[in-house]
Structure 1
Amino acid sequence: METKIVVEKADKTLFEGDSGGLHAWSKSKTPLLCDLKVGAGKLLLHPFGFALPHYSDSNKICFVLEGTFTSWHT
């Protein structure tokens, strides 16, 4: 089975506000996500923006592509 990976922009905007936005790739337009049974999203934070803590029933992996990250976990 051959898989072709193509870099695409997220096709759904889930939230857009003053501090940033949350974008996602839909499984209908990105069949590889459906095949792998995973989801994909991008959290874009503007300078001094922050993401509120939230509960999720699934694991998440985060990568900082540009800038810095500060965690307040104790």
Structure 2
Amino acid sequence: MEKKMVVEKADQTVFEGDSGGYYVWSNSKIPLLSELKLGAGKLLLHPLAFALPHYIDSNKICFVLEGTFTSCTHE
């Protein structure tokens, strides 16, 4: 069975402020995410803004659509 995913605007705003926002796609609105046991979110940073370091107990894949990205990882 072939699955088709249509790109839609994120349906939930987790945070929005002067430096940007974090938006997510809910599993209830996009059943394919639930079926594949995935989560999807979008971090939008305005120029000169930064995201605070945080811990999460799962893997992440990040794509930079515009600008640059610098990351430090500690092992």
TM above 0.5, one fold? yes
Counterparts of 1:73 and 1:34 in 2: how far apart (Å)? 29
Q: 2:2 maps to what in 1?
A: 2
Structure 2 residue matching 1:50: 3-state secondary structure:
coil
Counterparts of 2:72 and 2:46 in 1: how far apart (Å)? 19
Q: 2:15 maps to what in 1?
A: 15
Any residues of structure 2 matched to 1:59-74 within 5 Å, and which? 59-73=59-73
Counterparts of 2:39 and 2:64 in 1: how far apart (Å)? 18
**Number of equivalent positions:** 74
CA RMSD of aligned residues (A): 1.3
**TM-score scaled by length of structure 2:** 0.91
**TM-aligned CA deviation for residue 51 of structure 1:** 0.2
Structure 2 residue matching 1:42: 3-state secondary structure:
strand
Q: 2:55 maps to what in 1?
A: 55
**TM-score scaled by length of structure 1:** 0.92
1:64 maps to a residue whose letter is: V
Structure 2 residue matching 1:33: 3-state secondary structure:
helix
Structure 2 residues without counterparts, runs of 5 or longer: none
**TM-aligned CA deviation for residue 72 of structure 1:** 4.6
Task: Percent identity, please.
Answer: 76
